[in-house]
Amino acid sequence: MSSLNLDDFTDLIERPDGGVRRDAEARRERQVVPPGALGRLDDLGEWLAAAQSAVPVRPVEQPRVVLFAGDHKVAELGVSARPAGSAGTLVREVLEGGRPVSVLARRLGVPVRVVDMALDCDPGSLPAGVVRHRVRRGNGRVDVEDALTLQEAEAAFRAGMAVADEEADSGTDLVVLGDVSVGGTTAAGVLIAALCGTDASVVTGRGGLAIDDLAWMRKCAAIRDALRRARPVLGDQLRLLATVGGADLTAMTGFLLQSAVRKMPVLLDGVVTAACALVGQRVAFRAPDWWLAAHDSGEPGQSKALDRMALEPVLTQGVRVGEGAGGLLALPLVQAAAALAAELPEKAEEPEETEEPEGTEKGEGTEKGEEAGAE
């Protein structure tokens, strides 16, 4: 029996300040550029102002990329274009600066943090700061077995919460959340299909490296089989994550919910983060107000999840690589929206027209004066 009560998040999470958002909208109406002329940037600036509870909105000065990493044994079925158990190699490439997220982060001056939750590699091959939250070596094969024990799921969830607290305490003012996984989109597809009550084929995508038709059919079958195991535990979100999620997805869900508690806004990257956000919405219905969908990756499961949460992607560039790369592409737009909302001048007030005294018509005083002089 878990000692973690997810129902507490319903009371702990408040919506971003609606009054502040109205103040931000009113300020926008007074600025020299007409409202609506900046398109989606107006909405982004007002969302950020409400999240910060500040008008004018403050600039985003300390963003951070946070990536949760794990291997999923379901990849042994050939559902991914990458070999099973190879996510550790991707993590090393991220740390060495050779992945798209590394290049974009350098260009934008954003630090990247990687958190190993279930990589299938020797922990000694990675920095101690990366592996200190690891729960297990590889997630279980979700089509035939649980991804985690309930105790492991609780440990992973608490690890995600702890990482969120560490980021909030260090002054991080916006997080780009992503994953580094092999087989992770399969687990994400199971969660989305289960929570949206849909068929496996509706949520099965091609993944980051665009698998062929045979691999897609294997992936669809794996999601279908895992769905049968997921449906009986739909009412218990922690057990659902233990059954078909995995340590990395469970930690991301904990991270998202605790970020909402700490009022720290988050940019969601791809289908894996969208699946975790969907679980988070089931736990606390106000939580998605603290999250922004960075981009549309083209994965059908992501579209399904975002639609369920009423989150509209900022960008549509078809970036499927994951690892926070698409999320980082949206970051400059959020920063630009904050700058415009804060720095555009307000319109000068027009001078009030001086009204004539009531009952006095133009020329009336002159005419009376002339009459008096004539007498």
Residues 143, 319, 101, CA angle at the centre, nearest 5°? 95
Residue with tokens 């702990």, as numbered in its chain: 12
Alpha helices, H only, 170-299: 184-196, 200-203, 213-230, 237-244, 247-261, 271-283
Q: Which residues are catalytic?
A: 323
Other Cβ atoms less than 10 A from the Cβ of 245: the count is 35
Strand 266-268 relative to strand 291-293: parallel, antiparallel, unpaired?
parallel
Q: How far apart are CA 6 and CA 239, in angstroms?
A: 11
Report yes or no: 59 and 238 within 8 Å, Cβ to Cβ. no
Q: Is 243 left (phi over 0), alpha (psi -120 to 50) or beta?
A: alpha
CA-to-CA dists, residue 244 to 19, 189, 275, angstroms: 40, 10, 12
